[in-house]
Each structure stands twice: as C-alpha cells, then as structure tokens.
Chains A and B, each alone.
Chain A
Amino acid sequence: MELTLYHFLVLGAVLFCIGLYGAITKRNAIAVLMGIEIMLNAVNITMVGFSFFNSVPRYSTYLTGQIFAIFIITVAAAEAAVALAMIIAIYRKRNTVDVGEINVLKF
C-alpha cells in the first residue's frame, strides 16, 4: 500500500480533533494552550502534505504549502508567548489558572 495524500489529511484531521478536545475541555489555561498548539500542528501537517503531493510544474509554487507552514509557526510562537504572559499576569492577580474562575474582563 502506497502513501497517498489521504493518509496525511486524515492524520491532520484526527490530530486537529484531539487538539480541539483538549482546547474545549481543559480547565487549566495552559492545557488549553497546549490543545491549540496541537491544532496548529495538525494544520501544518496538512499544509506540508498538500505541498508534497501536488503536481504543479514549477518548483517555486510547489513550495507554497511549506511557506504557509512557516508563517503558521511564526504566528503560533507569537501567540504562545503572549498567551503565557497573560496567564502569568492573571495568576499574579487572582492566584488561579482555572478558566472557569476567570470570569471578569477587568480586575
């Protein structure tokens, strides 16, 4: 059995669902962030899979999926830094990281 694009797309879909489950069920804010990182990784696997299995003639357009993956990684790193700084700031004021207890917008 040869590898096809479906293998990678289904892998990305499964990983996306696991990340979604983590992001919407976890009560610890850092665990929610971990779920979001898994979702972004699933999208990256899909992008790189599309870039490998396309049949465009020019090599430069063949790499478009990988360029997308680079930008997704950039945004994910920025998002992780800002979100963790916010979690630490909230922890200092409220002494909790439970997203169920963080229920006001302004402290």
Chain B
Amino acid sequence: MDLASVIFWIFAVILVAAALLVVSLRNIVHSALALIVVFAMAAAIYILLNAEFIAIVQILIYVGAVTILVLFALMLTRLSGLQITNPSNKLWWVAVIICALVGATIIYALTTSKHLIAATSNGASQLPPGINNVVRIGQLLYSPDAYSYVLPFEIASLVLLVAIVGAIVIGREE
C-alpha cells in the first residue's frame, strides 16, 4: 500500500462514518455538526485528486456557508419539548432496501460496463510542470476566445441572483 492509498482509506472511512452519523443521530444539531465533517473530508478527497480549487471552494461554500445556513434554519425553527428532533419514518426499513438496491445497481453497472469507462484510467495526474490548477480553471471559466465555459458561468451567476431574490421574497415577514 502506498501513501496515497493509506490517506484515501483514512479519509474515506471518516467520510462514510460521518455520513452515517448524519442520517442516524437523534439530535438534529448533532447531525448538522457531523455534516461539517462530511464536507471537510470531501475537501480532503479533492486535494488527494489534485483538485485544489474545488477543495478550497468546498471549504468556503459548504463548510463556511451552507452549514451555517443549516444551523441558522435550525435555530429559527426550534421545536421545543421534543426529545428526538431528527426522527425517521416508520418505513425506514423499506428505505434501507431501496438504497441497498440502488447502490448495488450502481456498483454492478460500474464493474460490468461495456464501455469500460472505469478501465481507461491510468492513474496518472496529467499535471504538466509549472501549471497551476487554479489558473487553468480561471482560464476555462473566463477566457472568451478560447475553449471555455463563459456562457454557463454567466448563467450560473444569474441562477444565484434569482436564488438570492427568491430566498428573500419567500423568507421575509409579512
């Protein structure tokens, strides 16, 4: 086992354990705190995959913003007098069966795909020397003349604007 595998297994085990805690803890505030661990470990996996920009964005947006948003919503919708604030359905065992079937189907499809998408990998990270991940993503997102994603980027900003206005309109007091 090389070092990357050891690091991967450490982060993957913590990630899956924290995700299981999110869906199984009785107190929803504890679930939200476990969600922070999930997001941080996902950022670690991104760093392992040479995606530094995604890792930084993950820390900033998910750990920094989304979790705080969730905690604010928990604070504003406080249910007093309840011991279990994060209850499950009575039919949770059906959900277990459904999720196991979905997971088994995905993994079966991965291993028996005719197109062998997963087999094309050589594990090499084609990072040319002296090339910065962040610089390349910036060029891909912004440069208007070369092969880039300028239009989807602008549309994404429009989506964010609409979401902010919508959140304010929906959430304001009458």
Contact = CB atoms under 8 A, between A and B. Distances in A.
A70 to B, nearest CB: 7
B107 to A, nearest CB: 6
Label chain A's interface by main secondary structure. Answer: helix
B10 interface: no
A38 B40 CA distance: 12
A2 B5 contact: yes
B110 A6 contact: yes
B102 to A, nearest CB: 6
A18 B15 CA distance: 11
Given A70-B57, A74-B159, A59 B89 contact: no
A20 B99 contact: yes
B124 A55 contact: yes
Interface in B66-94: 66, 69-70, 72-74, 76-77, 79, 85-89, 91-92
Contacts of A92: 173
A2 B2 CA distance: 7
Contacts of B49: 8, 48-49, 51-52
Interface string A72-83: 011111111110
A84 B73 contact: yes
A65 B170 CA distance: 33
A82 B23 contact: no
A96 to B, nearest CB: 8
B53 A54 contact: no
B147 to A, nearest CB: 6
Contacts of B42: 41, 44-45
B47 to A, nearest CB: 10
Interface in B93-143: 95-96, 98-100, 102-103, 106-107, 110-111, 117-118, 120-128, 131, 133, 136-137, 139-141
18 contacts: A3-B4, A3-B123, A5-B123, A11-B12, A11-B45, A13-B107, A18-B16, A19-B19, A30-B28, A38-B35, A44-B54, A60-B136, A63-B140, A67-B140, A78-B163, A82-B163, A85-B171, A92-B173
Interface of B: 1-2, 4-5, 8, 12, 15-16, 19-20, 22-23, 28, 31-32, 35, 38-39, 42, 45-46, 49-51, 53-54, 57-58, 61-62, 65-66, 69-70, 72-74, 76-77, 79, 85-89, 91-92, 95-96, 98-100, 102-103, 106-107, 110-111, 117-118, 120-128, 131, 133, 136-137, 139-141, 146-147, 149, 152, 156, 159-160, 162-164, 166-168, 170-171, 173
